[in-house]
A = this chain, B = another copy of it.
Amino acid sequence: MSTTQANKIEINKVATSKINQVDFDNLNFGSVFTDHLLECDFKNGEWQTPVIKPYAPFLLDPSARVFHYGQAIFEGMKAYKDEQDSIWLFRPDENFNRFNSSAVRMAMPEVPEEVFMNGLNELLKLDHEWIKKGLGNTLYIRPFLIATGEGVIANPSEDYKFMIILSPAKAYYSGEVKVLIAEHYSRAANGGIGAAKTAGNYAGQFYPTSLANKQGFQQIIWTDDATHTKLEEAGTMNVFFRINDTLFTAPVSERILDGVTRKSLIDMAKKEGLDIEVRPVLVSELVEASKNGSLKEIFGAGTAAVISPIAGFSYRDEYYELPKVSDSFAMILKEKLTNMQHKLIEDTYGWTVKVS
């Protein structure tokens, strides 16, 4: 792409904002979108001029590759507003880099930094009123890339569409989260696409998760598909386990998404003087720790879910309830993290980035 093309962003504003129709106190996650979106097409081997325009449906050919062969990747980020009305992102470079790693794994073109970052910045500035102040209020950011090339033949598309859409959001999970530990179904294969943030990884979880839901569990903690003995991650969260006063989380691998929240919590735990070990955690250890009372907490960590404490887990038809702890590591870390993201405490890590 010629830099001139990516640097200039075409902007078409809506005639009237729909913001007044939105009840910001009653938002279902991911269901309301702001006035504008960013769009940038990849055609003839080149990224075209990015365009910011009114959020609206768009046309695709019935043979578009995304429908048939699933070339589709995305990211999940959030924007926060501080008390001075400035807008902040949290480690956006991590999302940008992961997006392009996903692109490579799915044989899609990498999105230039100018398109992703400048595009996002401009879009956020335009729709800044959609970001509300106060802890718990965020704007969820969904960059995604889909294969738009025509033809029902199983090979990579020539054409792609990159988009960023924005959705004002409160918490992702509300209410108690009980999890089921996977004994048969799996999320990812060795040498597969589990580490990529690609659409197909999610649809594959829906059916097993619906079975879990019927048994009263909201989420599944996936295990390695070869032996089902190692705890890996949940549907949209990495997972941490606290045994006595040590936190454990699985190392990232080809099967596990390298979560930004996970890696931030690891660094924060270290700085806070919490004991943390990154190593494979066995299902048997978890069951054992629960039985002998040393299992104190389990929590999920992800951009959408933030930190989501888990009330108990089921394994081989046995339910293991977690104790109520007064010094919850989940709560300590969640408070630090969200306060930092909302600029209520100092960011000593250099993770928060101002939109300007």
Give Cα A33–Cα B202 distance, bound, in whole angstroms.
30
Looking at chain A's contact residues, the main secondary structure is: loop
Contact with B along A50-61 (1 / 0, CB 8 A): 000001111111
Return the contact of A203 from the options B163, B200, B226, B235 (Cβ within 8 A): B200
Chain B residues closer than 8 Å to A186, beta-carbon distance: 189-192
Within the complex, the shortest CB–CB distance from A308 to chain B, in Å, comes to: 13
Chain B residues closer than 8 Å to A295, beta-carbon distance: none
Within the oligomer, what is the number of copies of this chain? 2
Give Cα A113–Cα B305 distance, bound, in whole angstroms.
40
Contact A201 B200, beta carbon cutoff 8 Å: yes
Chain B residues closer than 8 Å to A30, beta-carbon distance: 63, 151-153
Within the complex, the shortest CB–CB distance from A41 to chain B, in Å, comes to: 13
Chain B residues closer than 8 Å to A264, beta-carbon distance: none
Contact with B along A187-212 (1 / 0, CB 8 A): 11111110000111111111111100
Give Cα A33–Cα B68 distance, bound, in whole angstroms.
15
Return the contact of A154 from the options B69, B198, B236 (Cβ within 8 A): B236
Q: 5 nearest interchain CB pairs?
A: A200-B200, A70-B199, A189-B189, A107-B206, A226-B226
Q: A107-B207, A182-B191, A193-B204 are in contact. List 18 more A-B contacts (CB 8 A).
A: A28-B153, A37-B62, A56-B62, A67-B74, A67-B146, A68-B144, A69-B203, A72-B203, A105-B207, A140-B152, A147-B203, A185-B191, A185-B192, A187-B192, A189-B190, A199-B199, A199-B200, A200-B201
A and B contact pairs by CB, cutoff 8 A, 26 listed: A30-B152, A33-B63, A59-B59, A66-B66, A66-B72, A67-B72, A68-B74, A68-B202, A69-B199, A69-B202, A69-B203, A69-B206, A70-B70, A154-B235, A156-B206, A156-B210, A182-B191, A185-B191, A186-B190, A187-B192, A189-B189, A189-B225, A198-B203, A199-B199, A225-B225, A226-B227
Chain A residues engaging chain B, CB cutoff 8 angstroms: 28-31, 33, 37, 55-63, 66-72, 74, 104-107, 140, 142, 144, 146-147, 150-156, 163, 165, 167, 172, 182, 184-193, 198-210, 225-228, 235-236
